[in-house]
Amino acid sequence: MFSFNKPVVLLGGGVCVTDILLRLVQHDYPLIAADGGANHLGNLSIVPEVIIGDLDSLNRRSHWESVTRVVELAEQDTTDFEKCLYSVDAPLYIAVGFTGKRLDHTLAALHVIAKYSDQKRVVLVGEDDIVFVCRHVQRLSLAKGMRLSVYPLEPVAFLQSTGLLYPLDELTLAPTTMIGTSNQVIHDQVTLETAPDSDGAYAVILPIDALATVIEQMAE
């Protein structure tokens, strides 16, 4: 187990927006590469704290072993993303490079953050959007006019919401029945509150512009 007292960046082998990665590294967040995620670093002169995975996609393994820690976890019951999550302890995980290219990989990443939603705070960062999974109450400070989508991963009953153009009051969202995409922030304080007896997981999807704000709030 690798432990950190600050948010960490997890880097996968999917689509990586270099500007976003560099911005995060400049904030002095530790960088952990998930297997072939390290391949993104070849021309960036960045060395991750550790590379974790089954290592079937890692290029230049001998090079990386000479400059940083490389941990091979051969089990095939989990993805490299999940291997990083269960091997690293941190207050927040900023996951870059786990979306794009292949839809099944993006869905697998969403599955992982839903699986760990009771244990770890994870923000999945794509090219245009960010997503994180919640249960129960979620409070956020966001810019007015921002797009906000609520996508249920299982049935979830909302008691109320505040700060949204289309309130979720007394609505039950569920896959294949009702979802909450393309809502809009109308107040700088947003609250999503589920009913006391509802334990369903739901994804909150925001534009990439909200990343810095969400990191600041979720790392508290």
pLDDT tens, 133-178?
A: 999 999 999 999 999 999 999 999 999 999 999 999 999 999 999 9
- Please give the Cα distance from 158 to 39 (Å, whole number): 42
- Confidence at residue 121, expressed as pLDDT on a 0 to 100 scale: 96
In this structure, what token pair is assigned to residue 20?
């976003």
User: What are the sequence ranges of the domains in the chain?
Assistant: 2-127, 134-207
Distance CA 87, CA 2 (A): 6
Q: How many other CB atoms are there within 10 angstroms of residue 79's CB atom?
A: 20
Q: Do the first three CATH levels of 2-127 and 134-207 match, i.e. the same topology?
A: no
Whole-angstrom distance, CA of residue 135 vs CA of residue 118: 8
Q: Give 45-85 pLDDT, tens digit per residue.
A: 899 999 999 999 999 999 999 999 999 999 989 999 999 99
Whole-Å CA distances, 123 to 5, 19, 115: 17, 17, 13
Query: Cα 166–172–203 angle (5° rounding)?
Result: 75
Q: What is the mean pLDDT of residues 186-211?
A: 96
Span 182-191, average pLDDT: 96
Fold classification of 134-207 is Jelly Rolls (2.60.120)
pTM for the predicted model, two decimal places = 0.94
The fold adopted by the segment(s) 2-127 is Rossmann fold (3.40.50)
Task: Tell me how far apart the alpha carbons of residues 10 and 52 are, in angstroms, rounded to a whole number.
Answer: 10
Q: Which of 157, 156, 92 is nearest to 130 (CA)?
A: 92
193 in Cβ contact with 142 (< 8 Å): no
